[in-house]
Amino acid sequence: MEGEVYYPSQDSIAKSYVQDWEALAESARKDLQGFWAERADELFWFKKWDKVLDDSQKPFFKWFTGAKVNIAYNCVDVHLQTYRKNKLALIWESEDGKSDRTFSYYSLNREVCRMANIIKAMGVEKGDRVTIYMGRIPEIMFAMLACAKIGAIHSVVFGGFSVDALHERISDSESKLIITCDGSLQNGKLVELKRIVDESLRHCPTVENVIVVKRTGHEVPMEAGRDHWFHDLCALPIANGKCTTEVMDAEDPLFILYTSGSTGKPKAILHTHGGYMVGTYTTLKYVFDINDEDRFWCTADPGWITGHSYLVYGPLLTGATIFMFEGGPAFPYPNRWWQLIERFGVSVFYTAPTAIRALMRFGEAWPNKHDLSSLRLLGSVGEPINPEAWKWFHRVIGKERCPIMDTWWQTETGMFMITPTPVVPLKPGSGTRPFFGQEAEILDEQGNPVADDHEGYLVLKNPWPAMMRTLYKDPDRYVETYWKKYPGKYMTGDSARRDKDGYFWIIGRVDDVIKVSGHRLGTAEIESALITHPAVAESAAIGLPHEVKGQAIYCFVHLKPGFAPTEDLSEELRQHVARHLGPIARPEEVNFIDKLPKTRSGKIMRRVLKARAQGLPEGDLSTLEE
Ligand code: 7RM
């Protein structure tokens, strides 16, 4: 093999579900539906499917049609009939370290049922949307599972988003109910989530009720008739620990999750009960070799797809013990994560390159202070991992014993698409090859495959069970965005290259999506936030390489007459974006510009701004307006 290769140890091969990767890949290639049917058979169905894959209306693919199922039943109820009843489902640690809470599968079930009964009592019915906006606390998991259990569609909004982003997602989803908490803690600082909800709810006529979980205990205004403390509701007779599971069609919606694309309006990615369940279960099991002894820690927030698939649903489907931590990596000290791995005996640790790079900077002494011998496997997600960070993670955290699973996937794919398993030889920075049943290609503008080692558009050729089904309320945009450019192939929006060993190397997005510290944001959303400021006539946002964040946001603003380009105004505009869209979207810099480069048809040429900012050649300027 070419380049630097890390071969799997005999030990990781011996422990792996998939000992012969090539053989399983070959069987899935020959019989895609048979491969997925066999995996689906390991889960519980109220009624089995008539058809594994229905592609008669592609690209609106359907999986396991005719089947009756509920993902929440597979996450919780099925385990109660086994020895797992008393096993820990969830261990949670607060940011301040003052409290940890644990839930067995038995008590998880009681929590989910209680929440489900309360949601039902609020008038929420099958198919209704519920927006969930809270910090990383156990109740966010209960709320998601409770919605799934009664057939409501959850829409989780990341707690790092603010008023405008939340408002748009609540009103677009036409949610009846909001589940939130009073506040959350971020590096010791209070984020007033309930206050943000209150502001967002002006002009959201569909919302009837707001359930508020008490987390921080600070004073919050409660609107009579609309807002209810969760603990008060829990005291009511309806809030008992038993609730029947709604029997769903495999293709019934499970959740929508808003994600950024090329326009200002975020897309509501829709996932379903059956296929999403089979996809997340299978990928987590095979890629992280999850077994009963594992303590699995995914550092993602439930507000992103990684949190949905691999903090909540996937691990519960495999019956693992989940570790969930409220805080971030370096608070109060840069050893926080390593200390938690030691204290809770975490065996599989799944995080993002940006966190690894940030922690690397504090030096090896911090992790070396801790016994990390419980670790068996490591994982990376969200953006390309640079080889330097990969090697540090491998050597300093994994002690050269733990393979790193670099998993490439998207909100849209629902599950890992390009990823190794523990028996696959690794190359730092590459996600290796497509998962079983998948084929990927690198194409040029015209749709022809490019030669090895050449950059092009990454596309996926086969359908997979956890694929999004559509964009909620916007099926045309679904077809347009993902299936139009190369008919019959799924367009990922990423550029990549494939090497001579068939390994894929992701380069980055080809559209106006930026990954800031692994968080997916759209330049258009940032521009929409800027334009609401009275001084801004026009603006452009771009992503530029950043040593720790991967990419950082840079904005160029053309001011309205009468406003002076000062340092203070620049700072005010950064704050403005943070206040409206969320602290995660705070620009690195806001610069003032007399004239934005535009095409003759008036489109901002972000590529030119990007090149200029980096001192690179500006490329073809023939379409630039005079
Ligand atoms: C899981 C997630 C999707 C975009 C995707 C890529 C980038 C994600 C990797 C990666 C290189 C990886 N969903 N991306 N994982 N790039 N290596 N392992 O992040 O919808 O929020 O973002 O993230 O550009 O298109 S997402």
For 558-574, write each residue's pLDDT tens digit.
999 999 999 999 999 99
CA 22 to CA 436: how far, in whole Å? 9
Q: 14 falls in which pLDDT band (50, 70, 90)?
A: confident
CA 540 to CA 523: how far, in whole Å? 7
Predicted local distance difference test score (pLDDT) of residue 428: 98
Residue 196 has pLDDT above 90, yes or no: yes
Is residue 466 within 8 Å of 414, Cβ to Cβ? yes
Between CA 198 and CA 171, with CA 209 as vertex, the angle to 5 degrees is: 60
CB-ligand 1 contact for 409 (6 Å cutoff): yes
**Overall average pLDDT of the 424-440 stretch:** 98
CA 113 to CA 242: how far, in whole Å? 5
Predicted local distance difference test score (pLDDT) of residue 618: 86
CA 374 to CA 318: how far, in whole Å? 20
List Cβ neighbours of 265 (8 Å cut-off, separation of 6 or more): 168, 172
Predicted local distance difference test score (pLDDT) of residue 622: 82
Q: Where are the alpha helices (DSSP H) in 88-245?
A: 105-121, 138-150, 163-173, 193-200, 230-234
Strand-pair partners of 498: 504
Rg (CA), the chain: 24
CB-ligand 1 contact for 306 (6 Å cutoff): yes
**Which ligand 1 atom minimizes the distance to the CA of 407?**
18
**Overall average pLDDT of the 354-360 stretch:** 97
CA 543 to CA 260: how far, in whole Å? 14
Half-sphere exposure of 559 (CA within 13 A, CB side): 14
CB-ligand 1 contact for 413 (6 Å cutoff): no
Between CA 604 and CA 363, with CA 354 as vertex, the angle to 5 degrees is: 140
> Among 272, 278, 261, which residue's Cα sits nearest to residue 469?
272
**Which ligand 1 atom minimizes the distance to the CA of 306?**
1
CA 509 to CA 389: how far, in whole Å? 20
CB-ligand 1 contact for 407 (6 Å cutoff): yes
Predicted local distance difference test score (pLDDT) of residue 496: 98
Q: 589 falls in which pLDDT band (50, 70, 90)?
A: very high
CA–centroid distance, 322 to ligand 1, in Å, is: 23
**Overall average pLDDT of the 22-39 stretch:** 98
Torsion region of 35: left, alpha or beta (phi above 0 gives left; psi -120 to 50 gives alpha): alpha
Q: 602 falls in which pLDDT band (50, 70, 90)?
A: confident
**Overall average pLDDT of the 579-584 stretch:** 94
Share of the chain above pLDDT 70, in %: 100
3-state secondary structure (DSSP) of residue 34:
helix
Strand-pair partners of 91: 102, 323
Predicted local distance difference test score (pLDDT) of residue 262: 81
Q: What is the DSSP string of 199-218?
A: HHTTT-TT--EEEEE-SS--
What are the two backbone dihedrals, phi and then psi, of residue 172, each rounded to the nearest 5 degrees?
-65, -35
CA 406 to CA 496: how far, in whole Å? 15
Is residue 256 within 8 Å of 461, Cβ to Cβ? no
Q: Distance of CA 96 to CAs 51, 301, 523, Å?
A: 50, 17, 34
Ligand 1 site-directed mutation target among 409, 516, 551, most atoms within 8 Å of CB: 409
CB-ligand 1 contact for 274 (6 Å cutoff): no
Task: Give the pair of three-digit tokens for residue 399.
Answer: 């002690």
3-state secondary structure (DSSP) of residue 129:
strand
What amino acid is encoded at 456 in this protein?
Answer: G
**Overall average pLDDT of the 499-510 stretch:** 97
List Cβ neighbours of 272 (8 Å cut-off, separation of 6 or more): 63, 250, 251, 252, 253, 254, 469
Q: Where are the alpha helices (DSSP H) in 60-100?
A: 71-72, 78-80
CA–centroid distance, 408 to ligand 1, in Å, is: 6
Between CA 516 and CA 522, with CA 521 as vertex, the angle to 5 degrees is: 130
What are the two backbone dihedrals, phi and then psi, of residue 192, each rounded to the nearest 5 degrees?
-85, 80
CA 109 to CA 142: how far, in whole Å? 9
CA 312 to CA 73: how far, in whole Å? 13
Residue 20 has pLDDT above 90, yes or no: yes
**Overall average pLDDT of the 485-498 stretch:** 97
CA–centroid distance, 382 to ligand 1, in Å, is: 4
Mean pLDDT of the chain: 96
For 48-82, write each residue's pLDDT tens digit.
999 999 999 999 999 999 999 999 999 999 999 99
Is residue 209 within 8 Å of 177, Cβ to Cβ? yes
CA 376 to CA 294: how far, in whole Å? 9
Residue 626 has pLDDT above 70, yes or no: no
Point out the least confidently predicted range of 22-26, 71-75, 166-170, 260-264: 260-264
Please tell me the residue having the least CA distance from ligand 1 atom 8: 382
Q: Distance of CA 11 to CAs 155, 376, 424, 590, Å?
A: 41, 10, 13, 52
Residue 261 has pLDDT above 90, yes or no: no
Half-sphere exposure of 502 (CA within 13 A, CB side): 11
CA–centroid distance, 459 to ligand 1, in Å, is: 14
Q: Where are the alpha helices (DSSP H) in 227-288?
A: 230-234, 273-287
For 113-141, write each residue's pLDDT tens digit.
999 999 999 999 999 999 999 999 999 99
Strand-pair partners of 372: none
Predicted local distance difference test score (pLDDT) of residue 601: 87
CB-ligand 1 contact for 301 (6 Å cutoff): no
CA–centroid distance, 410 to ligand 1, in Å, is: 5
Predicted local distance difference test score (pLDDT) of residue 625: 79
Predicted local distance difference test score (pLDDT) of residue 109: 98
